[in-house]
Amino acid sequence: MTLARRLGPLDATAIGLGSMLGAGVFAAFAPAAATAGSGLLIALAVAGFVAYCNATASAQLAAAYPASGGTYLFGREVLGPWWGFTAGWGFVIGKTASCAAMALTFAAYAAPGFERPVALAAVVVLTAVNCAGITRTALATKVLLAVVLVVLLTTTALALPAAHHPQWTTGSPLDILQAAGLLFFAFAGYARIATLAEEVRDPGRTIPRAVLAALTGAIALYLLIGVTLLLVLGPDRLATSSAPLTDLLTTAGYPSLTPAVRVGAAAASLGALLALITGIGRTSMAMARNRDLPRFLATTSTRQVPARAEITVGAVVCGLVLLGDLRGVIGFSSFGVLTYYAITNACAYRQPPEQRRWPRALNLAGFTGCAVLAATLPPVSALAGAGVLGIGLLLRTWATAWAGPTG
């Protein structure tokens, strides 16, 4: 059974922007400043350019293949089933770990000292929202996104008058690339629009517009926040800050408003978690349709939602939440996402002229950017990511040998 096309341009854009404005916007700038100093603005430009290349590739492919699955589907259709599986497996495993980290981040802001039960409750509630239908998911995302935007824009507006001219130091080119690798994942949300392609009305027009609108909005907001943080806190203080936006308000003379930042961070984490569960569920459903995951995950409910896949994802995330604080898995998750987008660019490069909307040079730039950023990740993260991808490929090899080709 196919899914119903219920999402319009505003819904798709909100889901993409809500995915990008996750907890990363509240935390990614500090480690980037510690690595590159004031060069984090250059790193942000590099990350934004790589994200743009990936976004155009995703939009071009989703317009040509308007079904659930994202690069898992694109890889199968353009490069072959093994490439599709590699992309899908990397996305599902990496983003499932990110869901647990996002739930714990929400709980740390919303209920310090009660992280595990609150994180579990958040996962259960958002899984139920997803199972209620994609229109409920879009509505909840828009509400959370509105809260986040109000908090971020108000914070920067109040802080900018306190700007001064601190001593700026810029890291080496390698430092800037490492910072770009950290900041890149603040952009890794537009793929959620592609994974929902089967539920978007008029996908050939809606998806490219929604992807670029969401990315443009995120880049503009990140530049505003990055410049404000550097002008008010300076690169040295920003590098050591555990809560940069809270410090921003305190420095500007508004310490009583810092609870609002906690509300914004909690809402951002929930919005990103909601979109992540949605995207993983759709990718899992697409993989199950081709027997790359258990077939029972391919079933849709009476609301035309892949409820079994959503509930399974929610259950796995709950299990990961119980294992401990998983925010340290971001490097592992990063490796999987970069692999996913490298395959996206390779697929877009192979598309015929009649399907092309952007030049192949962007696909080459995107592929190269993903490879370079992956190379700058800590070796432990890269090895862990490669190891899990390898395990998935071995399992698929075993399943293929016993059950015959999956196509």
Q: What is the mean pLDDT of residues 58-73?
A: 82
Task: State residue 255's pLDDT score.
Answer: 92
Which range, 81-85, 211-215, 373-377, is most confident?
81-85
Task: State residue 245's pLDDT score.
Answer: 86
Check residues 12 and 85 and name the one with the higher pLDDT. 85
**147 alpha carbon, distance to own chain's centre:** 19
Nearest to 99 by CA among 127, 129, 133: 127
Q: In which residue are the tokens 């790359």 written?
A: 292
Q: Which helix (H) or strand (E) holds 378?
A: none
Q: How many CB atoms lie within 10 A of CB 68?
A: 25
DSSP letter at 358 equals S
Residues 6+ apart with CB under 8 A from 216: none
Split at pLDDT 50, 70, 90, the class of 394 is: very high
Contact 158, 34 (CB under 8 A): no
Split at pLDDT 50, 70, 90, the class of 347 is: very high
Split at pLDDT 50, 70, 90, the class of 406 is: very low
Task: State residue 342's pLDDT score.
Answer: 94
Nearest to 71 by CA among 345, 370, 391: 345
Give the CA distances from residue 112 to residues 61, 84, 199, 225, 396, in Å, rounded to whole numbers and listed in that order: 42, 40, 37, 25, 41
Assess whether pLDDT exceeds 90 at residue 112. no
- Which pTM does this prediction carry? 0.80
Helix 81-110 and helix 330-350, axial crossing angle in degrees, nearest 10: 140
Task: State residue 80's pLDDT score.
Answer: 93
Task: State residue 407's pLDDT score.
Answer: 47
Assess whether pLDDT exceeds 80 at residue 45. yes
Contact 47, 356 (CB under 8 A): no
Check residues 309 and 24 and name the one with the higher pLDDT. 309
Of 48-57, 118-127, 194-203, minimum mean pLDDT range: 194-203
In the chain, helix, strand, coil percent, each to 5?
A: 80, 0, 20
Sorted by where each starts, the structural domains of the chain and their CATH numbers stand as: 9-403 (1.20.1740.10)
Split at pLDDT 50, 70, 90, the class of 25 is: confident
Task: State residue 325's pLDDT score.
Answer: 55
Task: State residue 23's pLDDT score.
Answer: 60
Of 7-21, 51-65, 288-302, minimum mean pLDDT range: 7-21
Task: State residue 391's pLDDT score.
Answer: 93
Tell me what percent of the residues of the chain surpass a pLDDT of 70: 89
195-252 pLDDT tens trace: 666 777 777 778 788 888 888 888 899 999 999 999 999 998 888 887 788 889 999 9
> Would you put residue 347 in left (φ > 0), alpha (ψ -120 to 50) or beta?
alpha
Which range, 24-33, 133-142, 180-189, 365-374, is most confident?
365-374
Task: State residue 157's pLDDT score.
Answer: 93
Which range, 45-54, 135-144, 195-204, 281-290, is most confident?
45-54
Q: What is the mean pLDDT of residues 161-165?
A: 84
How high is the mean pLDDT of the chain? 83
Of 9-13, 340-344, 352-356, minimum mean pLDDT range: 9-13
Assess whether pLDDT exceeds 90 at residue 270. no
Handedness of CA 161, 265, 276, 339 (dihedral sign): positive
Tell me what percent of the residues of the chain surpass a pLDDT of 90: 26
Q: What is the mean pLDDT of residues 125-141?
A: 73
Contact 357, 56 (CB under 8 A): yes
Q: How many CB atoms lie within 10 A of CB 112?
A: 10
Q: How many residues does the chain have?
A: 407
Assess whether pLDDT exceeds 70 at residue 192. no
Task: State residue 228's pLDDT score.
Answer: 93
DSSP letters along 197-209, please?
A: GGGBSSHHHHHHH
Check residues 243 and 56 and name the one with the higher pLDDT. 56
